[in-house]
Structure 1
Amino acid sequence: MSTATATTSPAGSEELAAVRTDDLAALLVAKERPPRPSALSASVTFGWRAMLKIKHVPEQLFDVTVFPIMMVLMYTYLFGGALAGSTSDYLQFLLPGVLVMSVVMITMYTGVAVNTDIEKGVFDRFRTLPIWRPAPMVGYLLGDVVRYAGASAVMLAVGMIMGFRPEGGAGGVLAGVALLLVFSFSFSWIWTMFGLLLRSEKSVMGVSMMMLFPLTFGSNIFVDPATMPGWLQAFVNNSPITHLSSAVRELMAGGWPGEDITWSLLWSAALVLVFGPITMRLYNRK
């Protein structure tokens, strides 16, 4: 009896395995594959991933809350009286510029986040997914745009408490912030390139600060360039940060600086066209 059982058992197992294999094959062949996600949906998904990282590491909000508040308070009350005669008058000139400076400065953390994920091996998994190739990079930038908007809201709220009164009203403020967000999104492509190119997050931060300090301080954020030497004025007046700062300042004051807006948008387009392809080439080869 035991011998019969032993001889029939393998045959039964083979039949069962064959049935299961056939059922599985029929299931895979009969069912349609899920549709490939669009470029927009994939980018938004990765953007949401960037936002969820803030939930688990809330310390990331330090640079969009404490840093902007510190910048406004420090520059207004330390230099306002010396540069403009009164802190109130200087605040009207300073706040739009410091808003630009703060948001542009925190764009470097995009490159730091990219470099960190590369070190952890996360991008190796992303590259195996059937998605639009630039989606992870665009998702990083979309998530950071929310952080930039948060930093702008914090700084404007503090400025209003201190006495900042934009003559352009809500429309001028929203237009200025929108232009700043567009430029910051484009500017962040520089740091994604460095995040892929450099070997550590400390290197990314070091190179970023080395580039950001001359650009932000060598502009009209703090003072009128007319007081500078001629050779320095030539650099400052053609700096993208100067065009952006002037545009945001005039929009919030109720004006329409067409030339500065145009230059800011042209700089934004140029940054994406130059550093976007370089970033994706490095991403594909990494």
Structure 2
Amino acid sequence: MTATGRVRAEFGAAWNSFLRRRTAVFFTFFFPIILVLIFGALVQTQPTGGGLFAEPQAYYVPGYLATVVLFTPLSRVGSEIARHREGSRFEKLATTPLSRTEWLFAQTLVNVVIIGLAALLILALMVVVTGAEIPLSADLLLLIPFVVLGVVVFCGLGAVLGSVADSQDGVIAASNTIALPLLFLSETFVTPELLPDWFGPIVNLSPLTYFSRGVRALTYESAGLSDSVVAVNLAIVAALAVAFFAAGAYAIPRTE
């Protein structure tokens, strides 16, 4: 069997495994929906009121997309590796031609499909429910590589967490500990002006920051769509995706 065939087979198995977990399917899509409904429709924004949620609705599109790009890969890939370790499945996989890189690539593809669907749902809700004004142009198609590469970044990080955590509970605790600060401190929901000056350089250490900046340049007119801004942030996210994927594939244990 070729590498493509092995990845396809693993993708099919992982996809069917996801669909069998109906609770996971439900909350994967319910979480971003409830987030948009609560903060976008109920709390709403106050463009002239100052403070948190003081910007127009479209400003927060990167934040809502980040919830699925960040949380879903971390928890799903990390938990999947933890389950494999607890069931000694990596010992069985070590006897097959499927490499660790191919296994992680297949898992990442599953997450790309899942999160891609969730991202489309979020964008539709933002426009229909909150009235966010997202500029429609050919440039908007660049959201696809941003989402795909963002998923790769956090699938790689999730693989690292799943490989070092001692249990599935440990993976969930670690992923939440990492994801929650990143979600709010990566130029997503909290504007840079609300943070102290000394915290600015720290924001640049978050991989999610470059995802947010690029997506905002595409979806928020007041951000000023600039080819250089989009290209630079997309290049950074791409480089991070390669680095994190390589780290995640290396961290996956051969045996347990």
Query: Normalising by structure 2, what TM-score?
Result: 0.85
- Identify if the C-alpha distance between structure 1 residues 72 and 144 changes in structure 2 by more than 3 Å, giving closer, same or farther: same
User: CA separation in 2, counterparts of 1:89 and 1:271?
Assistant: 30
Q: Which residue of 2 aligns with 1:121?
A: 88
TM-superposed CA distance for 1:114, in Å, is 1.7
Find the residue that maps to 1:222 and give its secondary structure. Answer: coil
Q: Which residue of 2 aligns with 1:217?
A: 184
Q: Which residue of 2 aligns with 1:62?
A: 26
Q: Given residue 95 of structure 1, which amino acid in structure 2 is its aligned partner?
A: V
Task: Choose which of 120, 129, 132 in structure 2 pairs with 1:164.
Answer: 132
TM-superposed CA distance for 1:125, in Å, is 2.1
Q: Is the 8 A contact 1:145 1:181 kept in 2?
A: yes
Alignment of 1:1-286 (within 5 A): 37-77=1-41, 79-82=43-46, 84-85=48-49, 90-108=56-74, 109-162=76-129, 163-169=131-137, 171-253=138-220, 255-273=225-243, 276-277=246-247, 279-284=249-254, 286=256
TM-superposed CA distance for 1:202, in Å, is 0.5
**Structure 2 gap ranges (5+):** none
Measured on the aligned residues, the alpha-carbon RMSD in Å equals 2.6
Q: Given residue 246 of structure 2, which amino acid in structure 1 is its aligned partner?
A: G
Q: Is the 8 A contact 2:213 2:233 kept in 1?
A: no
TM-superposed CA distance for 1:62, in Å, is 2.5
User: CA separation in 1, counterparts of 2:239 and 2:94?
Assistant: 27
TM-superposed CA distance for 1:133, in Å, is 4.2
Q: Is the 8 A contact 2:90 2:255 kept in 1?
A: no
Q: Is the 8 A contact 1:38 1:132 kept in 2?
A: no
TM-superposed CA distance for 1:260, in Å, is 4.9
User: CA separation in 2, counterparts of 1:220 and 1:43?
Assistant: 35
**Structure 1 gap ranges (5+):** 1-36
TM-superposed CA distance for 1:285, in Å, is 5.0
Find the residue that maps to 2:57 and give its secondary structure. Answer: helix
Count of residues in Structure 1 that have an aligned counterpart in Structure 2: 249
Moved over 3 A (4+): 77-89
1:123-164 residue CA offsets vs partner (Å, 9 max, x unmatched):
222221123442222211111111111110111121121122
Q: Given residue 69 of structure 1, which amino acid in structure 2 is its aligned partner?
A: I
- Identify if the C-alpha distance between structure 1 residues 265 and 201 changes in structure 2 by more than 3 Å, giving closer, same or farther: farther
